[in-house]
Every structure is written in structure tokens, then in C-alpha cells.
Amino acid sequence: MAKIVEPPILMSRILMFVLATSVVVLGTLVFVLIKMIPLERPEVFFVANATRSVNVIIEPFEPNSANEKAISYYERGFIQEYVIARNTLSDNISMTRNNWKEIVKNWSSDNVYTAFTKTKMYRNYAFGGHIPNAVCDVYFSDPKNKMAIIKTGKGDYTVSFTWICKNIGGQTTSKNYKIKIKIKSDLEKRMSGTLENLQKLKANPLGIQVVEYKTDEDPLNNDVTSL
């Protein structure tokens, strides 16, 4: 004769299962929250207003004791994304070209962008020459950039990263690079400039630009045939 589980025992087993499931879900949520905190990089957005009766004034702000830490995080995040966009070579040529057009161009001063357009990689990707059969990625020495992106002065940073390329044959090459970057905001200039300049604020809300980009050896000047 088959055993019959008494209702109290069955209920206790159900409750134990529910409790165990709840503990697992709660533990997962706690782990995710720990990974999210602190939120170290502020994101800046524009808010569009459809009514014409409201005047919106955009003004630059100077660092002070209240917002200096937030600005520092934002600047490091800005530099990280700039370096990645500038030096990443994707197997999707359109993606690489779009990063250079939408990020590098809008986030660079005129002289820095002009120097960038003279690199071997830019000329080949932009003008449809020999495209290297390689995918190149940027890796920083520390995930939170506390060692990879070091502030050396007002707007001055030293950035260390590893450039890793993998060609179509599966060969992988890597090299370490160090660059010096200087950034500053040209928000006032953009607000008083042409409509084209104002539209650039959508891609760069604080108007920060890289005004100096110095490196002993630019990875984008590598021999494209060697990749």
C-alpha cells in the first residue's frame, strides 16, 4: 500500500521549497545591488520641452566641494569612452566609422581631430583603402580605471591601456600604450555658436573636448598590412 503524505507534512515541504526559493532570489538581488553601488559615473541628458512659452537656459558650472567628485567620475568615464571609440577596430566597418564620426569628432578639438584623421588606420577605414583583417580592442589595467586613468592636474590625465588585435588567421598581438590627454569644456563657445555646434551638444552635453592627445606611438599608425 502506497504511503500517503499527511497534509501538515505536505504543507511544510511546500513552505520549505518557497522559503528556499525566496532566499535564492533575495541573495541574487542583494548581489546585483552591491555590484551597482556606488553609481560612479553620472550620465547627462537633455530634456526637450515642446511648449514655446518656456525659456531654457543652459549654463556651465564650476567645480566645487559639492560636485567635484561627480565631475571627476564623469571626466574619467568620458575619457574611457573616448579612448575606446578612437582605438577600437571592429569587424563591422560601419560601426568603426560611426564611432569616429559621432564620438571622436564631436569630442575632439579641431586640431586633435585633424591629427587623428592623418593616422594610417583612419585613412584606410574612412576612404575605403586596404581594410586590415583584424579586430582590435582596448583593455584598461583596472576595471574601475583607478589605475588606468590617472588625473595629473586640472583637465590633465594619463591613460594606460593594452591594445589587443586578432587577425583573420586567429593570431593575437598585444601592446601597451600610454597617452596624455587634456580636456576642457567649450560649452560657452558652443552655446553662442552656429546651429551645428548647438546640435553637437546632444552627443556631448557638457561640451567637454579633448584638446591635447599625446602619445609616443599611436596604435592607429601601425602598419595595416601587419595585422
Total Cβ atoms within 10 A of residue 3: 5
Nearest residue to 176 via CA among 145, 147, 141: 141
User: Tell me, what DSSP letter sits at residue 215?
Assistant: E
Taking only the tens of pLDDT, the chain with its 227 residues reads 455 555 677 777 788 888 888 888 888 888 777 766 655 555 555 555 555 555 555 555 555 556 677 777 888 888 999 999 999 998 888 888 889 988 999 899 999 999 999 998 888 887 765 666 788 999 987 655 556 888 888 889 999 999 999 887 778 888 999 999 999 876 655 555 554 555 566 667 677 889 999 999 999 998 765 65
Query: For residue 132, is the peptide bond before it cis, meaning its omega torsion is within 30 degrees of 0?
Result: no
Question: Looking at domain 68-222, which of 3.10.450.230, 3.50.50.60, 3.10.180.10, 3.30.70.2520 is its CATH number?
Answer: 3.10.450.230
Scan for cell 560612479, then name that residue: 40
Spatial distance between the Cα atoms of 6 and 148, rounded to a whole number of angstroms: 63
- Round to whole Å and give the CA distance between 224 and 131: 8
Q: Are 209 and 185 in contact (CB under 8 A)?
A: yes
What pTM did the predictor assign? Answer: 0.67
